[in-house]
C-alpha cells in the first residue's frame, strides 16, 4: 500500500495544513474579496490551485530547514502539529489572522520545555525572519505605490480598460501570492515529519501539506479574508494590487531562503505601508491592535497546549 496511507500520525500535519489554509492562504485574495473585485468562491479556487503548485514545486527547501531546527519523534511531531492546529482554529474562529510559523515554533518550544530541552539555537533564524516579513512587505509597498501608479497613469487607456487591467493584475498577483504561500508555508504543516515516516519523502509531505492547505482555504477562510482585506484600511483595486504584490514578493524571497514566514504578517505590513503613504489616519487602529494581539497570543497558546500535551504523554 502507498506509504502515505499507512501514516496515521501525519493526520496531525494535515489538520494543521487545513487550519493554515483557512487562516493564512486567504491573505492572497483577501483584499480583492473585501473590495468586491473578486468573488470569494473564485478567489478560493484560484488560491487553492496556486498553493498546491507552490508546495509541490518549491516546498521541499523549507521542509529541510524546519526539520533541522530540533530533533523530533513521531509523537512530538503529532503533538506539535495538533497544538498548532488547535491554535489556528481558535484564532480563525475569531477572525484573527495569525502566523502559523509562530504557532508551530511555539509548539516546538512547548514540547522542548516539557522534555527539558535547550537546543533551540536554530530557531533564532526563523524569529528574525518573522520581524523582517511585515517590515519588508511594508517597505516594498511604500516604494512601489507611487511609481507603479505613475506608470498606469501614463498609459493612454480608458477608465474601463484600466479597471479591467487592475482586475487582471489582482488575479495574477493573487495567484503569485498563493504560489509563494505554498512554497513557503507547506513546511509548517508537514515539515516536522520529515524523515520520521518510512517511505514518505519530502516531496510527498509537500504534496500532502499543499492539498490540506488548499482544502482549508476552500472551506473555512472567508471570515479572515474579509478581516484582513477591509478592516485595517479601506482598499481600492490599485491599493489591493500593491499590497498583495508586496506580500507575495516578500514571502517568495523567504521561500528561497528556506525560512517559513507568515503571509498574514506580510499582508498586514503591506496594507500598513499603503496606509502610511495615503495617510496614517486611514489606518483603523483598533483592528490593527486586534491583529497584533493575535500574533502575541499565538505562540504562547501553542506553547502551553503542546507543553501540557507532552507532559501528559511523557508522564503516562
The values of phi and psi at residue 198, to 5°, are: -55, 130
For the segment 185-208, the average pLDDT, to the nearest whole number, is: 92
| pTM across the whole model | 0.88
Average pLDDT, the chain: 85
Q: Is the pLDDT of residue 207 over 50?
A: yes
**DSSP 8-state class, residue 192:** G
Mean pLDDT lowest among 43-52, 131-140, 161-170, 206-215: 161-170
Task: Report the C-alpha gap between 20 and 7 in whole angstroms.
Answer: 20
Q: How far is CA 260 from the centre of its chain?
A: 9
The per-residue pLDDT for 23 is 81
Beta carbons within 8 Å of 181's beta carbon, 6+ residues apart: 24, 25, 27, 28, 50, 51, 54, 213, 251, 263
Residue 233 has pLDDT above 70, yes or no: no
- pLDDT higher than threshold 80 for residue 7: no
Residue-level pLDDT at 76: 93
Gap between the Cα atoms of 176 and 173, Å rounded = 5
Three-state SS for 289? helix
* Long-range contacts of 161-164, Cβ-Cβ distance < 8 Å, separation of 24 or more: 163/237
**Domain ranges in the chain?**
3-314
Q: 155-164, 181-190, 233-242, 284-293 — which one is most confidently predicted on average?
A: 181-190
Amino acid at each position: 500500500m502507498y506509504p502515505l496511507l499507512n501514516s496515521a500520525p501525519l493526520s496531525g500535519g494535515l489538520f494543521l495544513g487545513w487550519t493554515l489554509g483557512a487562516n493564512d492562504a486567504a491573505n492572497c485574495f483577501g483584499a480583492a474579496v473585501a473590495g468586491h473585485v473578486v468573488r470569494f468562491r473564485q478567489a478560493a479556487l484560484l488560491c487553492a490551485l496556486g498553493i498546491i503548485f507552490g508546495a509541490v514545486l518549491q516546498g521541499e527547501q523549507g521542509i529541510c530547514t524546519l526539520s533541522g531546527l530540533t530533533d523530533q519523534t513521531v509523537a512530538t511531531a503529532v503533538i506539535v502539529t495538533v497544538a498548532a492546529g488547535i491554535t489556528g482554529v481558535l484564532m480563525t474562529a475569531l477572525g484573527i489572522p495569525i502566523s502559523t510559523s509562530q504557532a508551530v515554533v511555539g509548539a516546538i518550544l512547548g514540547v522542548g520545555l516539557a522534555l527539558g530541552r535547550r537546543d533551540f539555537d536554530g530557531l533564532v533564524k526563523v524569529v528574525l525572519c518573522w520581524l523582517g516579513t511585515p517590515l519588508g512587505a511594508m517597505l516594498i509597498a511604500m516604494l512601489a505605490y507611487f511609481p507603479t501608479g505613475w506608470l498606469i497613469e501614463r498609459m493612454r487607456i480608458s477608465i474601463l480598460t484600466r479597471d479591467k487591467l487592475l482586475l487582471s493584475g489582482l488575479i495574477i498577483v493573487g495567484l503569485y501570492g498563493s504560489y509563494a504561500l505554498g512554497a513557503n508555508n507547506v513546511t509548517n504543516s508537514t515539515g516536522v515529519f520529515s524523515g520520521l515516516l518510512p517511505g514518505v519523502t519530502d516531496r510527498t509531505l509537500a504534496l500532502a501539506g499543499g492539498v490540506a492547505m488548499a482544502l482549508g482555504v476552500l472551506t473555512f477562510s472567508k471570515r479572515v479574508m474579509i478581516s484582513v482585506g477591509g478592516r485595517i484600511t479601506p482598499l481600492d483595486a490599485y491599493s489591493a494590487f500593491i499590497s498583495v504584490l508586496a506580500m507575495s514578493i516578500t514571502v517568495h524571497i523567504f521561500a528561497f531562503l528556506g525560512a517559513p514566514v507568515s503571509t498574514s504578517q506580510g499582508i498586514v505590513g503591506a496594507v500598513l505601508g499603503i496606509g502610511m503613504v495615503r495617510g496614517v489616519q486611514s489606518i483603523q487602529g483598533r483592528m490593527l491592535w486586534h491583529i497584533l494581539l493575535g500574533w502575541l497570543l499565538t505562540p504562547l497558546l501553542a506553547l502551553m497546549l503542546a507543553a501540557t500535551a507532552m507532559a501528559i504523554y511523557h508522564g503516562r
